[in-house]
Amino acid sequence: VPYLTPYRETEVSLRSDSLNNQVDLDTASVNVVPTRGAIVRARFDTRVGYRVLMNLTQANGKAVPFGATATLLDTTKESSSIVGEDGQLYISGMPEKGALQVNWGKDQAQQCRVAFTLPEQQDNTGVVMANAVCR
């Protein structure tokens, strides 16, 4: 961005609505303080992958408990989220195939793993709907 005022804090923002459906920004704006004549880097952390709303059930048929944490395994960038009511999990940066580690306690009975293959996206919302069993 040209013409920033030197030595003044300036907010630089990205329009997230102009990004591809498979790109999520952790933060859409950052503050920079350029010096006179300098080039300043504004760094935006992104997650690239599918946005997924997944209904998680345990092997016994019950929903994964509210507040459980789900972490994407075997990826270079960490992606995790918290399970909502009725086992619903919204998570972004998901590959087409992979695994999630789900924990709601330290006991072995309070942990499970979800192997998933995402279905074709059915609508234009940018969110893939899926169901999975946590074993």
Q: Looking at the structure, tell me whether residues 28 and 94 fall in a common domain.
A: no
- pLDDT of residue 131 exceeding 70: yes
**What Å distances lie between residue 87 and 48, 52, 63, CA to CA?**
24, 13, 5
Residue at 121 is within a domain: yes
> What pTM does this model have?
0.75
Q: How many domains does the chain have?
A: 2
> CA 105 to CA 16: how far, in whole Å?
35
More confident site: 128 or 124 = 128
Question: Residue 33: which domain range?
Answer: 10-46
Amino acid at 32: V
Amino acid at 9: E
Q: Looking at the structure, tell me whether residues 54 and 106 fall in a common domain.
A: yes
- Quick check: 73 and 93 in contact, CB under 8 A? no
Residue at 3 is within a domain: no
Residue at 18 is within a domain: yes
Q: Looking at the structure, tell me whether residues 77 and 60 fall in a common domain.
A: yes
For 102, list phi and psi in degrees, rounded to 5.
Answer: -115, 130
Residue at 41 is within a domain: yes
Q: What's the confidence (pLDDT) of residue 122? A: 66
Average pLDDT over residues 33-41: 89
Length of the chain counted residue by residue: 135
Q: What's the confidence (pLDDT) of residue 85? A: 96
